[in-house]
Every structure is written in structure tokens, then in C-alpha cells.
Amino acid sequence: MPDDPIIPPPDTADALAAVAALRRLADQLEDAAVEQAMRGGWSWPRVAEALGVTRQAVYKKHARRLIAAGVELRRRQG
């Protein structure tokens, strides 16, 4: 197989910046979606499983913020 020339992506800077922007958008979406779930009575284990992360991770990231916002948090899925 002949050596193919390496074709650079259209714009490297745009591609890298898109990664940073998507991470930021994902963080914003996560904050909003977890808040909506907890306000809707979802439990931490259920939210964690839906996100594909551990309970500890989701609790550590969001509990303080939601408690400060006055969201009533469920301990257990009824």
C-alpha cells in the first residue's frame, strides 16, 4: 500500500476548540438535567445509573448545589 499523504483536518484549532466547547455544554446540560431529575423525585442511584457514573460521583458533583437551591432530595427510590 502506498504511503497516503497525511491530510490535515480542515481546521485543527476549530476542532480542538469544539472539544472544549462541547465539554462546557455537556457540563451545563448535566447541571440542568440532574436538577430536573432530582426535582422530579429521582434518586441518586437512578440518576447515576442513567448518566453511567457512580453514585458517589454524581452526589459529590451536585449535592451541595441542589441542597443550597432548596431541592428536596430523595434518599431512596420508592
Q: Which residue in the set 28, 54, 56, 77 belongs to the binding site for another protein (CB under 8 A)?
A: 28
How near is the Cβ of 55 to another protein at its closest, in Å?
A: 19
The C-alpha cell 426535582 sits at 39
In this complex, which beta carbon is closest to another protein, that of residue 67 or of residue 77? 67
Counting contacts by CB under 8 A, is residue 50 touching another protein? no
What length is written for the chain? 78
Query: Which residues contribute to the site for another protein (CB under 8 A)?
Result: 11, 13-18, 20-22, 24-25, 27-29, 31-36, 64-66, 68-69, 71
